[in-house]
Amino acid sequence: MEKVTFRNTDMAWDMSALILFPPNFDDAKQYPTIVSVHPFGSCKEQTSSAVFGKALAEAGFVVIAYDASFQGESGGTPRYVEDPTQRVEDISRVIDYAVTLPFVDAERIGGIGICGGGGYVINAALTEKRIKAVVGITPVNVGRLFREGFSQHDPLGALHAMAAQRTLEARGGELQVNELLPPSPEFARENGLTERDVFEATDYYKTARGQQPGGATRMLFSHAQKTLSWDAFAFSEILLTQPVMSVVGQKVGAFGAYRDGLEIFGRATASKDRQLVELAEWSHYDLYDRAEPVGLAMERIVPFFNNHLT
């Protein structure tokens, strides 16, 4: 594994990434390469590299797992911005970098994303045709989630609050950075925050299980307006022509990944090969790092990418 930085030329800051190499890597050869997109509130050191990136590299792929702009070790200010348009554009910038590497086969590039990253990478594939095949692991349509649960089903109220806060900040007021999860599983239990996705996210992000310095689980409230008008799957019936796989756990939580995963499978009617993988005994956050469900997913993902990228 190698840590690299490269310039996001359009936005004038550096991106930080990890490149994971297959066994017996030979830099004189060209390899199928997969861009791995981390979840909302995550970073490259978590599931996108340490779990799925590692498994795909062991299966023979070069994998590039990176930090989104404004997050982790990548540049961009203010920090903790979650802008779906920028998140999708980041994927193209990572591909721009990848195709300059002599060991990357530019005709064999795939994408994989987890949670919000799954929605982002599927959305990228609508217009980024350098992506030849795409996998969403428990993919979440972040726009839908913001319009519903994250705004308490009051998207217009959220937009007005964001507008007022942004004006306050433009006039020199303090930034409002929202922490999205309880500080610990113990706190969550004591305060009745035990809904499956909320509690399991806390168990992943707020314990040694998954906690990393770059995984902030924070969001700059005033800069999230565009998220509420965004749809990860818009025009997928027409533009999503590449092979696509959606992997979901059937234990349903409030963040809606099961629903979103089934939706994109149903809407990807223009895809050359659409596949749905449902794991009956597992949840959204089990698929982040639990050995058994990850193993079951990889049993389908590796042949899918081998078929379309090798």
Concatenated DSSP letters of 136-181: EES---HHHHHHTGGGTT-HHHHHHHHHHHHHHHHTTPPP-EEE-S
d(CA 12, CA 98): 18
**What pLDDT does residue 4 have?**
98
Per-residue CA distances from 265 to 129, 136, 291, 302 (Å)? 19, 10, 25, 19
DSSP state letter for 8: E
d(CA 273, CA 245): 8
For domain 2-150+231-309, the CATH architecture is: 3-Layer(aba) Sandwich (3.40)
SS3 at position 44: coil
d(CA 250, CA 171): 47
On average, the pLDDT of the chain sits at: 97
**What pLDDT does residue 10 have?**
76
**What pLDDT does residue 11 have?**
74
What's the burial of 23, exposed, middle or buried (CB within 10 Å: 0-12/13-18/19+)?
exposed
Alpha-carbon 145 to chain mean position: 14
What does the block give as tokens for 161? 């609050």
What number is the average pLDDT over the span 119-134? 98
pLDDT class of 66 with cuts at 50, 70, 90? very high
What number is the average pLDDT over the span 11-36? 96
**What pLDDT does residue 36 have?**
99
Residue pair 45/18 in contact by the 8 Å Cβ criterion:
yes
Which regions of the chain does DSSP assign to beta strands (E)? 2-8, 13-20, 31-37, 62-66, 104-114, 131-137, 177-179, 218-220, 244-251, 274-283
pLDDT at 152 over 80: yes
Percent of the chain's residues with pLDDT above 70: 100
pLDDT at 9 over 80: no
* Geometric angle at alpha carbon 14, from 8 and 16, rounded to 5°: 110
pLDDT at 8 over 90: no
**What pLDDT does residue 226 have?**
94
- Dmax over Cα atoms in the chain, in whole Å? 56
pLDDT at 95 over 80: yes
Residue pair 203/209 in contact by the 8 Å Cβ criterion:
yes
What pTM was estimated for this model as a whole? Answer: 0.97
pLDDT in tens, 276-310: 999 999 999 999 999 999 999 999 999 999 999 98
pLDDT in tens, 167-214: 999 999 999 999 999 999 999 999 999 999 999 999 999 999 999 999
What number is the average pLDDT over the span 203-227? 96
pLDDT class of 13 with cuts at 50, 70, 90? very high
d(CA 9, CA 97): 10
Q: Which of 291, 293, 263, 294 is nearest to 276 (CA)?
A: 263
Rg (CA), the chain: 18
What number is the average pLDDT over the span 5-14? 86
DSSP state letter for 40: T
